[in-house]
């Protein structure tokens, strides 16, 4: 393992790529610590000392910003607007024929969709920045905080903050694309990974301070088991064999090869968890904006859908994850299209006739393999909520939920890319 790292840095072009990635990460993390203009840093830090502010309705955005959101830094919005824009575009590709046609055009069409994603990211960043700054100016961003978070309540300060946070999102998007073009791995994924890892030490230390060394050791042991289980499931896949018949084109013979269609157990990734979390945040945010605390629906949401440790919240969260897993897999993997492409190029699954029988077989296998993937995502996502009940940890519990899925998934993907580049130069890789 260590010798593989040495070999990676001995290769000039790979060393340049890795150093470039590290440089971009340093810039990114520095921007996540620089407060935006007009923010009263001392008051913000005092309010963040309140334990209740670690379990607010902004946990998902705050997680993807590495804790920068509640500190109101120039990179406060983090990568969340880009993630939201990418998900929206993926859904619209299925709904809008024009976008579907662009997707089928290859690289030129994908470039156009990427451009649309950038525009949508800036629009979402502008909306989110406006909402966050408005809450900060009104004093409702952090719970039980009576001190002003901004030096001035003027409109000019408001506009400067909104423009700064929106520009910060644009810079983050540019840094991510730089890593993709000139570095190693997917740039946006690596930046998300960095933001999640940035909150990991503080979350672990909070467990030790609150529960002591014995609980801390148990948490570490459970965390290692969870990481091993996540790696096992993330690597698991069902390989459907595909045989291509020989065909004569002119005087040359083509085909006759064998391959397979890899269907991952976790075909949807972390998207269902993001969907479910975002949907559950909506009623909590509605309660925060509503001042009528005596309303029955406000009391119901506050009692059952705000507290992560309540059984109703857990059951709803789990059910939403299972639903969105099936929903997302159904729109990203089209058995009809796969079966038609196989038939067009002379491919078939051994023992299954081409055409409609192949489509039915793929649908059957996909529905069967999606169930364990959905249950796996639901159980992993409930780990922080269970920890909230058992050891009184906060919802940013490190080993579980979105954080562990992101860390393991991005780490595996990046290691595989480095591994492939090392194998091209006849070096022994990481995975031996």
For 304-332, give the DSSP string.
HTS-TTSHHHHHHHHHHHHHHHHHHHHHH
In this model, does residue 367 exceed pLDDT 70? yes
In CATH, the number for domain 1-198 is 1.10.3370.10
Q: What is the pLDDT of residues 335-356, one digit of tens each?
A: 888 888 888 877 888 888 888 8
Rounded mean pLDDT, 395-416: 75
In this model, does residue 286 exceed pLDDT 70? no
Rounded mean pLDDT, 289-301: 63
Please give the Cα distance from 288 to 43 (Å, whole number).
Answer: 21
Please give the Cα distance from 378 to 408 (Å, whole number).
Answer: 16
Q: Which segment, 101-115, 164-178, 234-248, is predicted with the most confidence on average?
A: 164-178
Please give the Cα distance from 83 to 165 (Å, whole number).
Answer: 16
In CATH, the number for domain 199-399 is 1.10.3370.10
In this model, does residue 421 exceed pLDDT 90? no
Please give the Cα distance from 354 to 342 (Å, whole number).
Answer: 8
Q: Tell me, what's the pLDDT at 388?
A: 64
- Per-residue pLDDT band for 126 (boundaries 50, 70, 90) equals very high
- Per-residue pLDDT band for 293 (boundaries 50, 70, 90) equals low
In this model, does residue 187 exceed pLDDT 90? no
Rounded mean pLDDT, 167-195: 87
Rounded mean pLDDT, 52-57: 47
CB 52 within 8 A of CB 158: no
Rounded mean pLDDT, 403-410: 82
Q: Tell me, what's the pLDDT at 8?
A: 72
Q: What is the pLDDT of residues 229-271, one digit of tens each?
A: 888 888 888 888 888 776 656 666 665 677 888 888 888 888 8
In this model, does residue 195 exceed pLDDT 90? no
Q: Tell me, what's the pLDDT at 54?
A: 47
The residue with greater pLDDT, 3 or 277, is: 277
Q: Tell me, what's the pLDDT at 163?
A: 93
- Per-residue pLDDT band for 205 (boundaries 50, 70, 90) equals confident
**Could you tell me the two tokens for 404?**
């562990």
In this model, does residue 9 exceed pLDDT 60? yes
In this model, does residue 319 exceed pLDDT 60? yes
In this model, does residue 294 exceed pLDDT 70? no
Q: Tell me, what's the pLDDT at 52?
A: 47
> Among positive and negative, which fits the CA dihedral 17, 23, 27, 28?
positive
* Single pTM value for the model: 0.79
Q: Tell me, what's the pLDDT at 170?
A: 93
Q: Which segment, 22-36, 95-109, 379-393, is predicted with the most confidence on average?
A: 22-36
Q: Tell me, what's the pLDDT at 51?
A: 43
Q: Tell me, what's the pLDDT at 123?
A: 92
Phi/psi for 239 (5° steps) reads -100, 115
Q: Tell me, what's the pLDDT at 292?
A: 56
Residue range(s) in the chain whose domain bears CATH number 1.10.3370.10: 1-198, 199-399
CB 1 within 8 A of CB 430: yes
Q: Which of these, 369, 416, 415, 401, lies nearest to 236 by C-alpha position?
A: 369
Please give the Cα distance from 301 to 383 (Å, whole number).
Answer: 22
């Amino acid at each position: 393992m260590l010798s593989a790292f040495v070999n990676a840095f001995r290769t000039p072009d790979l060393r340049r790529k890795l150093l470039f990635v590290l440089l971009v990460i340093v810039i990114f993390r520095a921007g996540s610590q620089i407060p935006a203009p007009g923010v009263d840093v001392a008051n913000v830090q005092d309010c963040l000392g309140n334990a209740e502010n670690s379990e607010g309705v902004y946990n998902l955005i705050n997680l993807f910003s590495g804790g920068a959101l509640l500190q109101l830094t120039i990179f406060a919005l983090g990568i969340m607007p880009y993630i939201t824009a990418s998900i929206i575009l993926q859904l619209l590709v299925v709904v809008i024929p024009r976008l579907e046609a662009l997707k089928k055009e290859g690289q030129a069409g994908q470039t156009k969709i990427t451009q649309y994603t950038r525009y949508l990211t800036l629009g979402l960043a502008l909306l989110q920045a406006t909402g966050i700054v408005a809450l900060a100016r009104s004093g409702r961003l952090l719970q039980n905080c009576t001190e002003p978070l901004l030096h001035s309540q003027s409109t000019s300060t408001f506009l400067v903050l909104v423009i700064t946070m929106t520009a910060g999102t644009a810079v983050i998007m540019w840094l991510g694309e730089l890593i993709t073009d000139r570095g190693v791995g997917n740039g946006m994924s690596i930046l998300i990974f960095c933001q999640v890892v940035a909150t990991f030490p503080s979350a672990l230390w909070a467990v030790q301070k609150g529960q002591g060394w014995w609980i801390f050791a148990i948490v570490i042991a459970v965390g290692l088991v969870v990481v091993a289980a996540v790696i096992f499931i993330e690597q698991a896949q069902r390989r459907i064999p595909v045989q291509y018949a020989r065909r004569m084109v002119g005087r040359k013979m083509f085909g006759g090869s064998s391959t397979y269609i890899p269907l991952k157990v976790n075909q949807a990734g972390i998207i269902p968890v993001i969907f479910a979390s975002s949907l559950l945040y909506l009623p909590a945010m509605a309660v925060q904006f509503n001042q009528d605390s005596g309303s029955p629906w406000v009391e119901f949401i506050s009692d059952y859908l705000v507290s992560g440790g309540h059984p109703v919240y857990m059951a709803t969260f789990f059910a939403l994850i299972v639903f969105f897993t099936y929903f997302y897999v159904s729109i990203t993997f089209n058995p009809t299209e796969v079966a038609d492409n196989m038939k067009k190029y002379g491919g078939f699954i051994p023992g299954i006739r081409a055409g409609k029988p192949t489509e039915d077989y793929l649908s059957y296998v996909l529905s069967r393999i999606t169930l364990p993937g959905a249950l796996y995502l639901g159980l992993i996502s409930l780990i922080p909520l269970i920890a909230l009940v058992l050891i009184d940890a906060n919802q940013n519990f490190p080993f579980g939920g979105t954080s562990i899925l992101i860390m393991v998934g991005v780490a595996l993907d990046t290691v595989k890319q480095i591994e492939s580049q090392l194998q091209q130069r006849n070096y022994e890789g990481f995975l031996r």
